[in-house]
Amino acid sequence: MNMSVSDMEFRLLKLATRKLLDTFGSLKVAADLCRVKPTNLSQYQSFEHTTFMPIDVALTLERHAGAPILTNEMSRMQEKGIDVTGERGVRDEALDVPVAVGELLAFVCEATTEHSPDGADLSENEKRRYIDLRRQVEEELRELDAAVEQNDTLRRRRVTD
């Protein structure tokens, strides 16, 4: 993972990027409005890629979307000064589960559309990808289970002013 941002910041930025791109209906539509290809846009919103959207692309897409979605998230992160250096507890691990499940569901929905190469059926590559994403969900659940088993894990993350 990119070491210049914390794990939580990484996730928040990826989610905000996804929210911005979702305003366009498809990655192709968004790509037609900026200088990058749909595959690059897909990587910018993917938790499995460490790259982030270039600032000029974000600015262009936010203008077309009519909302500073990614900019607002970055501003919020700066204002709140989230401290994520402490131990991850139950709440933190629980928040990772829906992200992993969301990745899995998004993949299944995309891979089974009429317009996908194999239609509603999964190709061998798609089946492998499904298994990888399913394993990630299981890993997040194991981490949550481990946090539940530990002592003093119900404390909340500190937020500094």
Confidence category of residue 22, pLDDT binned at 50, 70, 90: very high
CATH topology (fold) of 7-80 = 434 Repressor (Amino-terminal Domain) (1.10.260)
- Who wins on pLDDT, 121 or 115? 121
Residue among 9, 158, 153, 11 at smallest CA distance from 83: 158
Full-model pTM:
0.53
CB 15 within 8 A of CB 99: yes
CB count within 10 Å of CB 142 equals 11
Q: Sketch the domain layout of the chain as residue ranges.
A: 7-80, 90-149
Closest Cα to residue 75, out of 67, 63, 66?
67
Nearest to 106 by CA among 30, 7, 18, 24: 18
Q: What is the pLDDT of residues 122-145, one digit of tens each?
A: 888 888 888 888 988 898 888 888
Query: What would the mean pLDDT of 59-71 be, rounded to a whole number?
Result: 96
